[in-house]
Amino acid sequence: MHSKRSTPLALLTLVLVSSCTGSGTAALTDPPSENPLLEEWTGPYGGVPALDRMELGALRSALSFAMARCLEEIEGIATNPAEPTFANTIVAMERTGSDLDRVMTYWGIWSSNLSTPEFREIQQELAPKLSEFESKITQNRALFERVKAVHEGREMAGLRPDQERLTWLVYNGFARNGATLGGEAKKRYAAINQRLARLHTQFANNVLADEEGYVLYLKKDQLGGLSEAFGQAAASAAEERGHQGEYAITNTRSSMSPFLTFSTERALREKVWRTYYSRGDNADKHDNNAIIAEILQLRHERVQLLGYENYAQWRLEDRMAKTPERASALMEAVWPAALARVQEEVADMQAIADSEGAGITIEPWDYRFYAEKVRKAKYALDSDEVKKYMQLNKLREAMFFVAGELFRFEFTPVPADVVPVFHEDVAVWEVTDKDSGKHIGLWYLDPYARVGKRSGAWATAYRGHETFDGKKTVLSSNNSNFIEGQPGQPVLVSWDDAETFFHEFGHALHYLSSNVEYPTLNGGVRDYTEFQSQLLERWLLTDEVIDKYLVHFETGRPIPADLVSKIKKSSTFNQGFSTTEYLASALMDMRYHSIDPTGIDPDSFEREALAELNMPREIVMRHRSPQFGHIFSGEGYATGYYGYMWADVLTADAAEAFEKAPGGYFDRDLAARLVEHLFAVRNAVDPAEAYRAFRGRNAKIDALMRDRGFPVPAAASIDSRPQE
């Protein structure tokens, strides 16, 4: 999962990002004295955030000042008596908001990595104020008229392509977010945004509360089937929570998934499964169903003020898919094949259960457990055996190797006393160009789960690349929730977790490879922005990575060739499960946002919609509605969860290009084209044009179907051009 900073700032509209997170201007309002969150970043590498001096008590005053200063900067642009030009309007907006940018970097770390009840109280209080601030920009009529004048003026013809795209992005950000409204509609639009900001924050905090509040503590005799490494990690998690001598199964995916895969205690598997998939759905103060209903109703009302039929229609207008129908068509092309594969998988699992005399019918809490048995039976592949070769530190070295070969990046550890960090777990590397030695940026890694850290894995950027007012280098960060083992013991991860590690590193490489001039162009189009990271997963299974970095944690010997062969042969194994649980969430997202939600009961709607889709009873959607943070804790992925599959079509198609290249996955010429056309340009080029520049044509769905071992339909391509 990618976000600009994993903060509410990333959830605000494009125009706010372009207007008030730029390079900054001279002070207009005196800042509060000695507020560490507002201080200019100093030190090496062009300045770094003072992560060791974060003071939660300084957040309210820092944010209030930063918003006020940004609004003064914006007002100065809006009231400029000179004729609107690209320089005095669009570029001037890019320069605003450096104070806010710094404050929101700290906000994002508290929100995602160091959340506490105290921060959540402040977050709940300030989220509506951020929304009000945003509305003051998007509804500044004089500012919009200046932007519109540049967008529609004669100067556009003389701009460079990236400058023309920047102008369009800024104009589109205003036009699609209420700038054209007046009177009561304008007031109502702003009020809706404020209420949504509060609801999004409340939704996310409810999920986090359930993740922290529901922990299963076990005794040693209840660890049947679980590895020694898992047991050690669970013991550490219990000790951290004051339960010495016990074993904690936390309510996060990184703990739930391996427990359901290996635990021989069926009753405990059911308990862990029910607890995990009931987050936000426990009919208590943290229940999210009423919040979902209100969010959907407010989103629907808001886009109707703009003249759209439904939220999905509004959202997809500027995405690659363009329309809900085109996005749905892709998902519906894959859905039947996924369902058919699930039937085969369940039959295989039931056969094993019957042969063992289990006397059960496969239930959702059995799927992972018996899938592992099928994997062993069909491919003689033991996931726990694979794990012995998947050392976290070695995987990090493998990622550095791939980045060095493809991007010519070199990673050098930064001493702990040189760059401040917000937690002792965090480490930092300097990124340089292998050939010239030129400094490119920093890469932060926060790898381990802890109380107050949201679940999952994500990438952020504390500072993006830009050159329009002096070069600024990238400060990127990867964040994971691996379970830290006993001191001195290597952290072993599953193959899926290793792929996720590579995936999120792909986002970091996207940040680090940027060569754009303006801050706004460091953004992305949601159904395209996952492509680069999904593509990087492919290098985990290359011979060069396997031979050098997948070594046994005790003997140091490379992973055996026969085990590698089993991994490759099983690459399409369990695709029914993984595709169906994902697509169910993506299809639900589209359905929620394609209807009039008046009076909706999310619990009933979810059940009825899944029944219409013939959702297998043995599988639950990857993110049930009450915990679907992608679409209800903000709007970044709302009606955009399908984008992972849209991006996967591009991924499969691009991967085939590498497979056919003379140098394979490390072909220098193709790698150079990859960086030039698909990474370095960020959002300075329309994604469809960028992909065609790399591949020479549009991507085709048949590569995706081959990838998953599904029947290939009549070849179809995807692009961002309107249908004729």
* Catalytic residue set: 504
Phi, psi of 621, rounded to the nearest 5 degrees: -60, 145
**CA 375 from chain center: how many Å?**
29
Rounded to the nearest 10 degrees, how much is the dihedral formed by the CA atoms of 371, 375, 377, 381? -150
CA–centroid distance for 472 within its chain:
24
**Residue 154, class by beta-carbon neighbours within 10 Å (0-12 exposed, 13-18 middle, 19+ buried)?**
exposed
Contact 655, 538 (CB under 8 A): yes
Q: Which of 363, 308, 715 is nearest to 371 (CA)?
A: 363
As beta bridge partners, residue 217 has 248
The amino acid sitting at 152 is E
Q: Which of 705, 699, 703 is nearest to 717 (CA)?
A: 699
Contact 461, 533 (CB under 8 A): no
- For residue 625, what are its two tokens? 């509605």
Are 520 and 17 in contact, with CB atoms under 8 Å apart? yes
Q: Which residue's entry shows tokens 């209903």?
A: 293
> Is residue 390 classed as helix, strand or coil in its secondary structure?
coil
Picking from 552, 555, 574, 554, the residue whose alpha carbon sits closest to that of residue 563 is 552
Q: Could you give the maximum distance between any two Cα atoms of the chain, in Å?
A: 84
Number of alpha helices (DSSP H) and beta strands (DSSP E) in the chain: 30, 9
For the sheet with 427-433, list strands across it.
Answer: 409-413, 427-433, 439-448, 474-482, 458-463
Phi, psi of 705 (to 5 degrees): -65, -40
